[in-house]
């Protein structure tokens, strides 16, 4: 055969033919480690006729590991004919090759004809070697075929446009959130706007630091996580502000309303952020690719939200309560008791004084 002299099995590039070998024709193939060259005839039994391959120990319980094979009806017939012919051949013509991806995985020799459809490959196998060979026979027999359904070519310009579109969506979402906060909460909307700016600055700083440290790059999926995080952060402010306004409706002063409102709001904020972070963590562990980037940014911004609300927003609102504009409920502060429909607590009425008892006159 011409191929025998042209193939060098010591060359890793030549071990596997450039074109797939035809199983119906003779071929020259190399072993996986490149130490042996084989001249093989046409395939007699294909892997599709193999119904089982398991690693095990002989029933007697002694000896090395072996691989147990099981064939279907057609495979049993073909394997019986092949082993009958190979049994009478001298070595190495009595060997049959197990081929996967145009490389010889194993080449056991035949001791006797095997007509029953069940065979054992024995040798000085360790447990791992036997399991590896069984896996090759079991999964290599699957008749897999890949067909091209769709091919998309994305140019760098298109990717840049998508990233630019994501950034525009994030800026637009941030702007709409700020506008709504100013229109609805007025003075408190400024607090929300400043808190969002602080959260954005912290998130940007963390992303910049993580870039060289862990190879994190902001992708379109990551930007989507940031856009959703704007809503999560705004929800925390809304829960806190609405609690304060509820306390003012009950007739409490601003300072008291802030403390009562914070006590009730912080648990809700923590529970909501915990659920978001848990979902992001599970998604990060289970997903791959761009979805992993989305989950990472979502979890990161959720942690930033907790830090900003506890360490910045609440202290800032407490500080602003000292100023007359907020403390007295200016109409533009967003805390006007009249606009909120606050209850008027009755003023304390002075009680009647009882006349002091006069000392009794002493008798002369």
- Domain 2-139 shares a fold with domain 157-340: no
Domain 2-139 has CATH 3.30.1360: yes
Residue ranges of the domains in the chain?
Answer: 2-139, 157-340
Q: What is the pLDDT of residues 221-232, one digit of tens each?
A: 777 777 777 777
Q: What is the pLDDT of residues 113-141, one digit of tens each?
A: 888 888 888 888 888 888 888 888 877 65
The β-bridge partners of 61 are none
Length of the chain: 364
The β-bridge partners of 68 are 54, 120
Q: What fold, for 157-340?
A: Multidrug efflux transporter AcrB transmembrane fold (1.20.1640)
Nearest to 219 by CA among 293, 152, 295: 293
Q: How many Å apart are CA 258 and CA 252, to the nearest integer?
A: 9
pLDDT value for 353: 52
Query: At 156, is the secondary structure helix, strand, or coil?
Result: helix
- The DSSP symbol for 109 reads B
The β-bridge partners of 109 are 95
State yes or no: pLDDT of 179 exceeds 50.
yes
pLDDT value for 205: 85
Q: How crowded is the C-beta side of 318, counted as CA atoms within 13 Å? A: 11
More confident residue, 67 or 150: 67
Q: What is the pTM of this model?
A: 0.50
């Amino acid at each position: 055969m011409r191929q025998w002299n042209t193939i060098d099995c010591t060359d890793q590039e030549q071990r596997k033919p450039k074109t797939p070998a035809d199983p119906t024709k003779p071929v020259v193939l190399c072993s996986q480690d490149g130490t042996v060259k084989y001249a093989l005839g046409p395939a007699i039994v294909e892997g599709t006729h193999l119904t089982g391959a398991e690693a095990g120990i002989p029933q007697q319980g002694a000896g090395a590991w072996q691989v147990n094979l099981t064939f279907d009806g057609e495979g049993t017939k073909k394997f019986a004919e092949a082993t009958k012919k190979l049994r009478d051949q001298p070595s190495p013509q009595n060997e049959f090759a197990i081929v996967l991806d145009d490389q010889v995985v194993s080449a056991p020799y035949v001791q006797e004809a095997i007509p029953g459809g069940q065979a054992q490959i024995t040798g000085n196998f360790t447990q791992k070697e036997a399991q590896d060979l069984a896996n090759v026979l079991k999964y290599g027999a699957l008749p897999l075929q890949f067909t091209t359904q769709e091919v998309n070519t994305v140019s760098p310009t298109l990717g840049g446009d998508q990233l630019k579109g994501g950034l525009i969506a994030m800026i637009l979402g941030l702007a709409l959130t700020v506008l709504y906060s100013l229109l609805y909460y007025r003075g408190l909307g400024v607090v929300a706007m400043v808190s969002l700016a602080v959260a954005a600055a912290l998130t940007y700083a963390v992303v910049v630091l993580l870039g060289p440290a862990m190879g994190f790059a902001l992708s379109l999926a990551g930007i989507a996580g940031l856009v959703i995080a704007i809503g999560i952060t705004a929800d925390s402010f809304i829960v806190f502000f609405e609690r304060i306004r509820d306390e003012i409706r009950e007739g409490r002063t601003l300072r008291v309303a802030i403390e009562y409102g914070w006590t009730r709001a912080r648990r809700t904020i923590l529970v909501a952020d915990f659920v978001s972070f848990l979902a992001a963590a599970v998604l990060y562990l289970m997903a791959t690719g761009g979805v992993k980037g989305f989950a990472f940014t979502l979890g990161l911004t959720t942690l930033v939200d907790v830090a900003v609300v506890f360490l910045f927003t609440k202290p800032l609102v407490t500080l602003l309560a000292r100023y007359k504009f907020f403390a007295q409920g200016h109409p533009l502060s967003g805390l006007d008791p009249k606009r909120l429909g606050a209850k008027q607590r009755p003023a304390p009425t002075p009680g009647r004084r009882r006349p002091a008892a006069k000392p009794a006159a002493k008798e002369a």
